[in-house]
Structure 1
Amino acid sequence: MTAIACSALALFSISTATPMQDAKAQAGSSFESYLQQVRQKALQDGVRAETLDQVLPGLTYNPRVIELDQSQPGGSMDSAIPPFAPYQRRHITAVRIDNGKAAYRRLIAKLIDVERETGVPGPIIMAIYGKETNYGSYMGDFDIPRSLATLAYEGRRRSLFEPELLAVLKLIDKGVPQSALKGSWAGAMGMPQFLPSVYLRLAKDGSGDGYADIWNSEYDAVASIANYFVNSGWRRDEPWGIAVNVPSSLDRTAIASKIVPTRCPRVFGRHSQWKSMAEWRAIGVVPATGKSLDSDMMATLLEPDGPGNRAYLLTGNYRVILDYNCSNFYGLAVGLLADEIRS
């Protein structure tokens, strides 16, 4: 075949490719080019070339991950906030409570040791465990390096996901088996659903074998959750909050917070000013049950379903729960589930 004939055949092959095939080929090429950029950054961060040569060539683009990411609800400050009560019924079920109590009993010796060391109560740890992975029964089955590479490459939130991709490469470089790295489509892993960067900073070996195996060891998961809370400022012997009754005469404009939150404004914007328990009692906000908080303990008021419905006074430790997941519904569900597990 002549050179001209070969060229003509090549042109014919290109011209008959479908637009979808061309797009896929271009995407694949661009994805591989992006991974080469990641490789250089990882090398600069100290990841060994052998590790990168083992991991990066096997990664492929996962369109399903992008579909899931783009389908996440946004929500603005002006959009309607749904009521908490239905969420509470769905997430604090009798089954979840019973399973939490069983897990608490199973791990009680370890939880006592962890609380003694860190001040984080066992029921709070169990509530996080239950909320995140239903006590380890479902941790996700997405390939973490592939998901993070896809999300970082797509670019919409590269500033979030590229550091996590670099972190998971470091994690593999430190000896965590790549085969163990399964989790959510967004990169959260193991029983506590840690992102790779969080694992590198805060995962703890709770079993004494030298490896923080948050995928298979409940002892390691428990110790790691507690360490996360300590790092976020958990205060020993301070409850997360308490249900309260609010008088119909309460002037809510007088207690509205004057601080404009820079972090999670949609969440913290619903909280009142900070007042001591003595100050709350003085204006008629009192515990709904026999429980109470110390008179000098500071708390904010949250009425998740509006005036006339169940309200809560929330301490600084509630803010620590929000550091795990910045959602009032999440924070309340963890606190209330912990109370049920403790009872």
Structure 2
Amino acid sequence: MMHARTIIVGGGSAAMSCALQLQEGNQEFLMVTDILGGRICYSDEEKVNFGAYFVMKNYNFAKKLVQRRTWINPFSVTFHNSDNEWFNTISLHSIKRLPQLLLFYRALYEFIKHYQPYKERCQIMDQRKAMAADPYIEEMFHKPASQFIREKRFFQAANDYISKFSYACTGVDMENISALDMMNCCMGLGVPIHRFSFDRRAMETRLKGRIRYGTVTDVRRVDDGFVLKTKEGAEYSADNLVLATPATVTRQLLNLDIPLRNTCKLYVYHVNAVLKKKFLSKEMNVFPFESEIIFTAKMDDSSYLIYTRVEDEKLLGRVCSSYQIIGRKAWDKAMYVYGDAYVEQDLGQGLYVAGDHNGLGLEPTAISGVFAANQIIKRYRNW
């Protein structure tokens, strides 16, 4: 049985960030995962992401995991209200909505002032305590985005622009996403965003042979730590355990009787296509929640990614005159976004939970892994 001071189960943003932070802290660890990258689902062959689509310039931890590529132009977007009504980022329509757009950007500025210190606190304290330290953030976690929009009086601008951007990021409407998650997504309307690539081999090299591939199926707490078994028959023991797996997997492995936020569904198609005329003028098309198509995005090689919330290839005919599918990915449990259930991060005696259970996005997920690593580093520095 192989032993490590710390074992990280999982290979996504939280797990990799935890590993890198432990490595910087000169801590021994081992990562056990079935795949490296998780929802950073980058295809080396197709040069596209089938999971997270962009990184923001202010992603301090997620940027350590990926290689930033081309800038996504926010002025090259067409917003569709219906089959018969659409408008571009800069248009007479946006001038008409300018007063409410200014209200949104004022709200966004206020949000960022609170959110940046919150992210910093989340590196050293669990998210519940980090939220409690700022009533503004705690209220945003529980408040529906639709209520926040009404209170800030930018409903029409939200209907035409902001909700569509949020929907493109999450596949969720304003009634069912929290104000915190919605504004976190919509920072992309004020902060530069870029496509990115992910180099698995480079990450394996950075982690210096500390990855073991396998699917953990059993976790037991023993007197002096933890014992893990994999589907492939391997066994491991550890003093500390970080479960950086999807929330449903974590709950099952630990036999926890806890509520979870519900998940959205996303389906991604990579196509060579000729788009219909009204979808051709800009690099991206975004849609209202009534549309089962979420967004289309033109890639650097002139192919397209098309995201839907229903798995139905026939939907592609709504935006394409002709198409050929290059690749596809189904996310039946894409993101934990519905509701305000909270998953504790520090379960005591060296057991930590990391992931997107309490907040969506690559950066919050990465920070949850950093928090777990920092607790372990602190434990041994105090010896």
What band does the TM-score fall into relative to the shorter chain? under 0.3
TM-score of the two chains, using structure 1 as the length reference: 0.25
Higher relative contact order (CA 8 A, sep 6+): 2
- Higher CA-based Rg: 1
Structure with more helix by fraction:
1
